[in-house]
Amino acid sequence: MQINPKTVKKQFEKSLTTYNENAVVQNLMAEKLVNELVKFRSNFESVLELGCGAGLLTKKIVENVRFSKYFANDLVENSEKYVKSIVPEAVFYCGNAQRIKPSRKVDLIVSNAMFQWIDNLSKISENCKNSLNPSGILAFTSFSPENYKEIKDLTGLSLEYKTFDAVKEIFEKDFEIIYSEEFRHTMNFSSPLEVLAHMKNTGVNSLNSKHWTVGEVKEFCAEYMEKYPQNPLTYAGMIFICKR
Ligand SMILES: C[S@@+](CC[C@H](N)C(=O)[O-])C[C@H]1O[C@@H](n2cnc3c(N)ncnc32)[C@H](O)[C@@H]1O
């Protein structure tokens, strides 16, 4: 599926208010990312967060990392409000993370559950390198091809997730990878409709691109229950901590 930032923006705009309470796995990812990051370093003069959303990761950075300047970015304008409720003096850059240029170089770039929406990872790797001071750190999480495998299996719809090895190869060109990990987490729901609601509430409505008729939804639910009686939804992702 082609990534269209306008569609991505629309999906996340709608889900900002429901995101944090539904994004169970993204919350675990943010926690893991920060836990691993602080093992290397927990004091940075300046931080840039890409795709900050409703501030799940922002909150964990504030609780665990010392910094004096916070720059945050998201495609969605309203995200500024969430970030500023956590870091009131944060500077917010609204727009595509692939194109933003912070006013100065920073010491840490972080991003949780966003890089899967970037179609040119080589470009963002290079941009991050150029936005970091020497010895600066880029710490991010993303998703891999097994993510939402049940949905792909039944509908054929999926983002073109890159494998762990492909992501590693891209970032290795610009950074020394000091930590990396693959993870998997399965959530179980009480019905396929709840699976769909969960995806919608976390902004990942990959079924959005096509309007489903009531009949199609019923058919999807019937197939889901037959093939996946426990109504699971697989999350599969990766964590990278890279040093400039
Ligand atoms: C799954 S949410 C993660 C939000 C947050 N990082 C967290 O830890 O919960 C992905 C966020 O990335 C943003 N996003 C997606 N593509 C983006 C892009 N190209 N540039 C900037 N933000 C983007 C979305 O608007 C959304 O807020």
pLDDT of residue 210: 65
Kindly state whether residue 169 falls inside one of the protein's structural domains.
Answer: yes
Give me the number of domains the chain comprises.
1
72 lines ligand 1 (CB under 6 A): no
Share of the chain above pLDDT 70, in %: 97
Alpha-carbon distance values, 77 to 73, 82, 104, 127, 232 (Å): 9, 10, 21, 22, 33
> What's the chain's length in residues?
244
CA end-to-end distance (rounded Å), the chain: 32
CA of 5 to the centre of ligand 1 (A): 10
More confident residue, 200 or 61: 61
Q: What is the pLDDT of residue 90?
A: 98
Is there an atom of ligand 1 within 6 Å of 76 CB?
A: yes
Residue nearest to atom 27 of ligand 1 (CA): 53
Report which protein residue has its CA nearest ligand 1's atom 19. 96
Nearest CA residue ID for atom 12, ligand 1: 51
The residues, any chain, with a CB within 8 Å of residue 230's CB and separated by 6 or more, are: 188
CA 28, CA 81: separation in Å to the nearest integer? 23
Give the distance (Å) from ligand 1 centre to CA of residue 227.
31
Q: What residues make up the domain containing 143?
A: 5-148+159-188+233-243
Residue 11 pLDDT = 84
> Cα(17) to centroid of ligand 1, in Å?
14
Which pTM value belongs to this model?
0.95
CATH of the domain at 120: 3.40.50.150
CA–centroid distance, residue 51 to ligand 1 (Å) = 4
Q: Is residue 170 part of a domain?
A: yes
Q: How far, in Å, CA of 90 to CA of 161, rounded?
A: 31
211 within domain boundaries: no
Question: Is residue 126 one of the residues assigned to a domain?
Answer: yes
Mean pLDDT along residues 87-105 = 94
Residue 207 pLDDT greater than 90, yes or no: no
Ligand 1 atom 10: the closest Cα is on which residue? 114
235 lines ligand 1 (CB under 6 A): no
C-alpha separations of 86 from 60, 80, 94, 121, 123 in Å? 10, 10, 17, 28, 29
